[in-house]
Amino acid sequence: MISEAMTQQILDAVDAAFDEQLAATAELVATPSLRAGEEAAQDLIEERLRGLGLDVDRWSIGSPELEAHPGYGPATVDYGTMTNVVGTAIPAQDTGRSVILNGHIDVVPEGPEAQWARSPWDAEIHDGWMYGRGAGDMKAGLIANLFAFDAIRRAGLALTGRVHIQSVVEEECTGNGSLAALLRGYRADAVIIPEPEEDALVRANVGVIWFTVRVSGQPTHPREMETGFNAIDAAYQVISELRVLEERWNQEKDQYPYFEDLAHPINLNIGGIQGGDWPSSVPAWCEMRVRVALYPGVSADSAWAQIEACLAAAGTRGAVPFDVVGTRDGFYAEGYVLEPGSDAELLLEETHRAAFGRELTSFTTPGYLDGRVFVGYADIPTLVYGPVSENIHGFDERVSVESVRNCTKSIALFLASWCGVTAAD
């Protein structure tokens, strides 16, 4: 750790710029960045990175290498106009360790706005919380990366290690954005990703597979409904069958370190459904969009094979056999464990104590994280660690303002100690 004096300088620098940081966060929240619509928000990030004096690399993420990578999730959007933005600072005196500060720019759909207490894009602050879609997941963390980096300069110091600040797309659906950044060649001695993680460190997390299930058969007029096939009823049969698989996987939790104590680590979510063409026609088809988790150590191929077997069986269970087709259309991502004891984690324990005045805790989260890219494919210790939030992916998403402040401090202190600092010129 750096000296107490330097520590205080950095903490003060974060406080001094914190109103500005909140304004920058609000501006980013107020710039919607739904999938395939991230460019305006990436423009803001690029501008800020340039303002911080970083060299900016911005590129469309699609490539044959990406599609050939085992961690690639099949895309259903055009990557031709979807860019990652990375700002790089290589110090003149490059003697310290390097770090990647990663965050994702994309947010999930806001859902029916009438169910929000206020607009999801206003980014208003009330009673210590900033509200809005993406406020927690993870625009507060993305902006925190920039302000943590800048706090070093504001404190009159200069880092002596290389820093890459990454703003990636596709974290909410495929994980292809961080994967594309890795394939672009970005490597470092540690990665920090300030996802909304309750001021704690993620020790382990699940992988995720996305797929669409299409059920189809022969429909009829409702006047002869009892002789026909109803794809919506059949879809619910398929859901039941998938729930059996889900429970089987949950029952295996004792085999997976860090997952034994979770009540229900494997969640299978039917996130979307659509079927039928006409109220008075028995529906011939129904499609469901499904998200399911898998433990670290379970390959995506193995999980997918079990899912396909489950779907095939579902089509044969009822009185009338029907077609069930599963298609992968997003995440095909494996989980990871952050092995304890890395230098990066040991340092974070110290900077967390300095920023929050309490011990760092770690936990297992049953959601997807881009950490899997850096841990799984580049063996880089990756600290997924970020602010307290509520209702991410729900209505009235919000992030704790004081938590953001302290996370920013912790990250800034990490940067200084990890990369090393000198007095600025």
Per-position x/- string for 307-346, each x denoting binding to a second copy as judged by CB under 8 A, each - no binding: -----------------------x----------------
Residue 254 binds a second copy, judged by CB under 8 A = no
Least distance between a second copy and beta carbon 240 (Å): 10
Distance CA 163, CA 61 (A): 21
Nearer to a second copy, 127 or 226 (CB): 226
Sites for a second copy among residues 342-381 (CB under 8 A): 365-368
Residue 104 and residue 369 in contact, taking contact as beta carbons nearer than 8 Å: no
Q: Give one DSSP letter per residue of 197-252, joined into a string.
A: -TTEEEEEE-EEEEEEEEEE-----GGGGGGS--HHHHHHHHHHHHHHHHHHHHHT
- Smallest CA-to-CA distance from 288 within 335, 243, 225 is with 243
* DSSP label at residue 136: I
Least distance between a second copy and beta carbon 106 (Å): 11
Write out the two tokens for 339: 């092995």
Least distance between a second copy and beta carbon 226 (Å): 5
Phi, psi angle pair for 187, to nearest 5°: -140, 155
Residue 33 and residue 106 in contact, taking contact as beta carbons nearer than 8 Å: yes
Nearer to a second copy, 291 or 405 (CB): 291
Is cis: bond before 6, omega within 30 of 0? no
- The residue from 53, 70, 111, 340 that contacts a second copy (CB under 8 A) is 111
Sites for a second copy among residues 259-278 (CB under 8 A): 263-264, 267, 269-278
Using the rule CB under 8 A, give the single segment among 98-106, 110-118, 339-347, 350-358 that binds a second copy: 110-118
Least distance between a second copy and beta carbon 204 (Å): 13
Least distance between a second copy and beta carbon 6 (Å): 37
Nearer to a second copy, 56 or 77 (CB): 77
Using the rule CB under 8 A, give the single segment among 8-16, 50-58, 216-224, 252-260 that binds a second copy: 216-224
Least distance between a second copy and beta carbon 236 (Å): 6
Write out the two tokens for 12: 């003060």
Residue 253 binds a second copy, judged by CB under 8 A = no
Nearer to a second copy, 71 or 219 (CB): 219
Residues with Cβ within 8 Å of 259's Cβ and at least 6 positions away in sequence, in order, are 204, 253, 265, 295, 364
Least distance between a second copy and beta carbon 62 (Å): 21
Phi, psi angle pair for 284, to nearest 5°: -95, -15
Residue 348 and residue 414 in contact, taking contact as beta carbons nearer than 8 Å: yes
Residue 284 binds a second copy, judged by CB under 8 A = yes
Q: For strand 163-168 and strand 99-104, is the pairing parallel, antiparallel, or unpaired? A: parallel
Residues with Cβ within 8 Å of 248's Cβ and at least 6 positions away in sequence, in order, are none
- The residue from 160, 220, 306, 342 that contacts a second copy (CB under 8 A) is 220
CB-based burial, 25-49: b 16+ in 10 Å, e otherwise: bbebbbbbbebbbbbebbebbbebb
Least distance between a second copy and beta carbon 109 (Å): 4
Binding positions for a second copy, rule: CB under 8 A: 108-109, 111-112, 115, 137, 172-173, 208, 210, 216, 218-223, 225-226, 228, 230, 232-233, 235-236, 239, 263-264, 267, 269-286, 288-291, 293, 330, 365-368, 391-395
